[in-house]
């Protein structure tokens, strides 16, 4: 088959996870063409030969409907907002789109764009519900989870954290958005441990100034935390691109997240398939991660469903949008439990972790995508 991917593909954005599918399609003999609309910075070397067009990544010359993709594909796939669905898949006999809105209400008028594609492939059951509630026919919506990169299984390298702390926790917040619950995450860490505990929190973050209402300043939140918890346990900050992010996962024991909304939570998936423990929000609303995280492979934070504040939302805010509010005390308790009972928990999750590795492989999920082609 001849397949095109037109979307954000630079590894600086979470949507670039589609490269895992593209890589698997390439491995199995399909002709794959890539067209990144957010540049090629830090682009993986093994996929550079598949780049078809660089014009769309040049903001000064950007003419999206005049890109250099071919005009005939068996399948066109794009992970993008619905306003681009027709434009980014129009060259395919089969037109598939992936999209996850980090909020519970699709902006008014966005649902109509389903007419331009054959299938919408949200990454979780939670995300699927958003499209159904917008009036899109359910038969066109098929949950297609993100797969993990083979580097999490094949590589053995470990990132040097330069710390002698025994238990290492990891949190990855590439985009400092309010829904990530950064302030609550730091609060839970402060309640759980002090500088007398043999633990460290490794924070992979982006330290940029907020430009939109839904963004926060990491350094401002971190400053507030340090003033409140003067004797907090060690924290290591990493604000640099890491060629192989799996090396960082292997260096840490436990992944920790307290998001209000996640349509998938890729770092948790990556940590689990690395054979590690993961702690994350565990509600029915806003927790797409519960499709693959359960009591058999991870620790889930209790909480409640609340209204989603306007400054947490993207695009057009809705008064009806909801989110999950994880309980800070319970999160702190799970942090302590995961430290003192780490080995016991990891042993009890062994079979659940192995099942996750099998169910979410690129090989298995890519076959599922291709099976939808007419």
- How confident is the model at residue 41, as a pLDDT? 86
Strand positions, DSSP E, the chain: 2-7, 31-36, 73-79, 92-98, 119-120, 167-173, 199-205, 234-238, 254-256, 277-281, 299-301, 303-307, 322-326
Rounded to whole angstroms, how far apart are CA atoms 144 and 124?
7
134 and 276 inside one domain: no
Sign of CA dihedral 207, 210, 214, 219: positive
- How confident is the model at residue 57, as a pLDDT? 58
Rounded to whole angstroms, how far apart are CA atoms 175 and 139?
33
- How confident is the model at residue 64, as a pLDDT? 46
Q: How many other C-beta atoms are found inside a 10 Å radius of the C-beta of residue 357?
A: 17
- How confident is the model at residue 62, as a pLDDT? 46
205 and 96 inside one domain: no
Checking DSSP bridges between strand 167-173 and strand 254-256, what pairing results, if any?
parallel
79 and 155 inside one domain: no
Q: What domain count does the chain have?
A: 2
Domain residues for 161? 151-359
- How confident is the model at residue 128, as a pLDDT? 96
143 and 174 inside one domain: no
Q: Residue 11: helix, strand or coil by DSSP? A: coil
| Region label for 42, one of left (φ > 0), alpha (ψ between -120 and 50) or beta (otherwise) | left
109 and 22 inside one domain: yes
Q: Residue ranges of the chain with pLDDT lower than 50?
A: 61-65
Condensed to tens digits (0 to 9), the pLDDT of residues 242-285 reads: 999 999 999 999 999 999 999 999 999 999 999 999 999 999 89
Query: For residue 152, with 0-12 CB atoms within 10 Å meaning exposed, 13-18 middle and 19 or more buried, which class applies?
Result: buried
What's the CATH number where 285 sits? 3.40.50.2000
Looking at every residue in the chain, the average pLDDT score rounds to: 93
143 and 157 inside one domain: no
155 and 139 inside one domain: no
205 and 337 inside one domain: yes
């Amino acid at each position: 088959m001849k397949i095109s991917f037109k979307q954000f593909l630079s590894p600086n954005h979470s949507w670039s996870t589609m490269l895992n599918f593209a890589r698997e399609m390439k491995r199995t003999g399909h002709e794959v063409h890539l067209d990144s609309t957010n540049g090629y910075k830090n682009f993986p070397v093994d996929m550079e030969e598949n780049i078809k067009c660089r014009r769309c990544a040049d903001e000064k010359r950007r003419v999206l409907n005049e890109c250099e993709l071919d005009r005939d594909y068996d399948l066109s796939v794009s992970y993008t907002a619905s306003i681009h669905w027709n434009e980014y898949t129009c060259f395919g006999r089969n037109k598939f789109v992936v999209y996850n809105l980090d909020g519970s209400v699709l902006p008014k008028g966005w649902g109509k764009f389903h007419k331009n594609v054959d299938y919408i492939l949200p990454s979780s059951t939670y995300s699927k519900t958003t499209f159904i509630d917008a009036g899109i026919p359910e038969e066109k919506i098929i949950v297609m989870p993100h797969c993990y990169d083979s580097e999490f299984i094949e590589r053995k390298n470990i990132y040097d954290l330069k710390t002698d702390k025994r238990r290492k926790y990891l949190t990855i917040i590439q985009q400092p958005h309010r829904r990530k619950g950064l302030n609550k995450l730091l609060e839970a860490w402060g309640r759980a441990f002090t500088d007398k505990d043999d633990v460290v929190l490794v924070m992979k973050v982006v330290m940029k100034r907020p430009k939109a209402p839904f963004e926060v300043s990491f350094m401002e939140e971190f400053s507030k935390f340090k003033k409140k918890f003067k004797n907090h346990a060690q924290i290591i900050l990493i604000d640099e691109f890491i060629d192989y992010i799996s090396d960082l996962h292997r260096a840490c024991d436990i992944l920790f997240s307290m998001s209000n909304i996640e349509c998938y939570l890729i770092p948790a998936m990556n940590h689990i398939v690395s054979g590690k423990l993961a702690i994350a929000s565990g509600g029915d609303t806003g927790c797409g991660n519960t499709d693959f995280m359960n009591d058999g492979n991870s620790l889930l934070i209790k909480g409640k469903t609340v209204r989603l504040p306007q400054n947490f939302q993207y695009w057009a805010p809705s008064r009806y949008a909801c989110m999950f509010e994880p309980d800070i005390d319970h999160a702190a308790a799970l942090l302590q439990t995961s430290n003192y009972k780490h080995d016991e928990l990891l042993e009890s999750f062994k079979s659940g972790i192995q099942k996750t590795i099998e169910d979410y492989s690129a090989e298995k999920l890519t076959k599922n995508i291709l099976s939808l082609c007419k």
